[in-house]
A and B are shown apart, each in its own frame.
Chain A
Amino acid sequence: MALESFSHKNAEKLAGVFKKHGINYLFIGKTGAILYGFPDTTQDIDLFPQKDRGNGKKIVAALKELDFETDTALEKAIIAGKDFIQIRGGPFDLDLIFAPDGIESYQEAKSRSHILGGKYPVAHLADIIRSKKSAGRKRDKETLPRLIDFYNYLTKKGG
């Protein structure tokens, strides 16, 4: 497990290394909502990568460059694009979600996404909300009313 919390320096490094390797991905989940400015806390980073063997190979290379511990099983799973991969053996906790609940395809989500802070590709907040509704977890049900209020607030402000 990671010993320290994810910081903006980790975020910049992650985005920089993923860009260098040409990886297609989106921040999603509460991580994505926080990048929009949603005032809440979380522990791990949720990424929605495009499911594609070439993209998977690039992710493996990027994770090694970011000092994540990998083994053959993990590398094969990333390249194959298994639906959900939890990675705790690295500088921060990371979930790769190749098939997030409530989202039909990467391309659809990508077409609605935004680049925030000039470098962070983030799924549309409406997609993040839809995914959390579909997941139906207790923790999501607790977050959703505030997150929907935040989305409505942003929409009202023209954000």
Chain B
Amino acid sequence: MMRYFIGKGSEKRLREIEFDLSLKKPFSRKIDDAFIKTYKPVLDDAPHRIFNTMRDYRNWCRSELPSWLGYGP
């Protein structure tokens, strides 16, 4: 059942309520609510990419991906 709060709760309390509600979801719902497909430029434009090292992967992310995707530092 959904609970409603009138007034402003503390950020910590609101976060705990959010966690509590999420933990009560059935497993299938946790998954179905969480995975959302959207197109990511460059990243989604090849069927696969292989990186020998994590350093290679990080360098590729920094040099090739738009910064707004958040894969850089």
Q: Which residue numbers of A lie inside 8 Å of B, CB to CB?
A: 1-8, 11, 34-35, 37-43, 45, 69, 71, 73-74, 77, 82-89, 92-93, 99-101, 116-117, 136-139, 142, 146, 149-150, 153-154, 157, 159
- Tell me whether A137 and B48 are in contact (CB under 8 A): no
- Tell me whether B54 and A84 are in contact (CB under 8 A): yes
- Tell me whether A69 and B19 are in contact (CB under 8 A): no
Q: B residues within 8 A CB of A34?
A: 30-31, 34-35
Nearest 7 CB-CB pairs, A to B?
A: A89-B47, A139-B70, A8-B28, A39-B22, A1-B44, A6-B35, A5-B37
Determine the interface band of chain B, counting residues with CB < 8 A from chain A.
35 or more
Question: How many angstroms between the C-alpha atoms of A84 and B51 in the bound complex?
Answer: 5
The verdict on B2 contacting chain A, using a C-beta distance below 8 Å, is: no
Q: How many A-B residue pairs have CB under 8 A?
A: 127
Q: A residues within 8 A CB of B44?
A: 1, 88, 93
- Tell me whether A7 and B32 are in contact (CB under 8 A): yes
Instruction: Known contacts A74-B50, A82-B50; decide if A2 and B37 are in contact (CB<8 Å).
Output: yes
Q: B residues within 8 A CB of A99?
A: 53-54
- Chain B, residues 29-59, CB within 8 Å of chain A (1/0): the string is 1111111111110011111111111101100
- Tell me whether A83 and B70 are in contact (CB under 8 A): no
**CB proximity of B38 to chain A, nearest CB, Å:** 7
Nearest neighbor of A33 in chain B, beta-carbon distance:
B34
Q: B residues within 8 A CB of A86?
A: 43, 46, 48-49
**Given A6, A11, A87, A142, which contacts B70 in the complex, CB threshold below 8 Å?**
A142
Q: A residues within 8 A CB of B67?
A: 138
- Tell me whether A39 and B54 are in contact (CB under 8 A): no
Question: Which of B12, B21, B46 has the most chain A CB atoms closer than 10 A to its own CB?
Answer: B46
Question: How many angstroms between the C-alpha atoms of A92 and B59 in the bound complex?
Answer: 25
**CB proximity of B32 to chain A, nearest CB, Å:** 5
